[in-house]
Chain A
């Protein structure tokens, strides 16, 4: 059974600081997704990481994937208040066609303090 763990679960950081959220998963996979959720809202796709060594960047967020270590990171650079949200990673368990589904981590609630 695929397990996906995120840490930290809660993160409070000051504006302007850098930090990293970690996503570990337990079985072989070559596809990992990062989502953002604002309070009371839906989930918004941020990044799709498709292979070992993949790196994607959008604004102050950068995501990377190391399939050998079964680890993805979401790095926040010079945080601003607008980045306050809950961030989820989700892993697509490598399976035969017709059985694609995601397993989500428990989320990291990020609060940016002025």
Chain B
């Protein structure tokens, strides 16, 4: 059971380039989340989804777009990367039945924007 898988694990971009981060989960979870983690700031929610075809903005959504075309996948896009988006990105998923389930996290994507 793979759990939550993030692709790629590392990436270096130049300012202005675009890219898509992929998150895939095999637990049939309804909810999926994208966070960024920066030193001294904990995890901040970028966007999230409560089901296939739905997305919502989190705390820091500017500069990012997301799509949830399939239940198992949640894509995070950077249309025009900026140095301020250098961070570690984590995807998480959670069972939608009840609110007492923890989120399960992927291993992260380390992204550097030059």
- The residues of A with any CB-CB pair to B shorter than 8 Å are 4, 9, 31, 33, 35, 41-45, 48, 50, 88, 90, 92, 98-107
- Give complex CA distance A88, B44 in Å: 12
Taking the nearest CB of chain B, how far is it from the CB of A27, in angstroms? Answer: 15
CA distance A4 to B43 in the complex (A): 11
Q: How far is the CB of A17 from chain B (nearest CB, A)?
A: 25
Q: Does B58 contact A101, Cβ atoms closer than 8 Å? A: yes
Asked if A102 contacts B108 (CB within 8 A), the reply is no
For A48, the chain B residues whose CB sits under 8 A away are 100-102
Give the residue name and chain of the B residue nearest to A34 (CB). Answer: B102
Q: How far is B37's CA from A35's CA once the two chains are assembled, in angstroms?
A: 14
What's the nearest-Cβ distance from chain B to residue A79, in Å?
23
What A residues does B42 contact at CB under 8 A?
Answer: 4, 88, 104-107
Q: How far is the CA of A50 from the CA of B50 in the complex (A)?
A: 21
Query: Judging by beta carbons under 8 Å apart, are A45 and B103 in contact?
Result: yes
Q: How far is the CA of A107 from the CA of B40 in the complex (A)?
A: 8
- In the complex, what residue of chain B is closest to A44 when comparing beta carbons? B105
Q: Give the contacting residue for B90; candidates A43, A105, A107; CB below 8 A.
A: A43
Q: Which of A41, A45, A104 is in CB contact (< 8 Å) with B104?
A: A45
Residues in B whose Cβ lies below 8 Å from that of A101? 33, 45, 48, 58
| 20 additional A-B residue pairs with CB within 8 Å, beyond A90-B43, A104-B35, A104-B42 | A31-B99, A41-B107, A41-B108, A42-B105, A42-B106, A42-B107, A43-B90, A44-B105, A45-B102, A45-B104, A48-B100, A50-B100, A88-B42, A99-B56, A100-B50, A100-B99, A101-B45, A104-B43, A106-B42, A107-B42
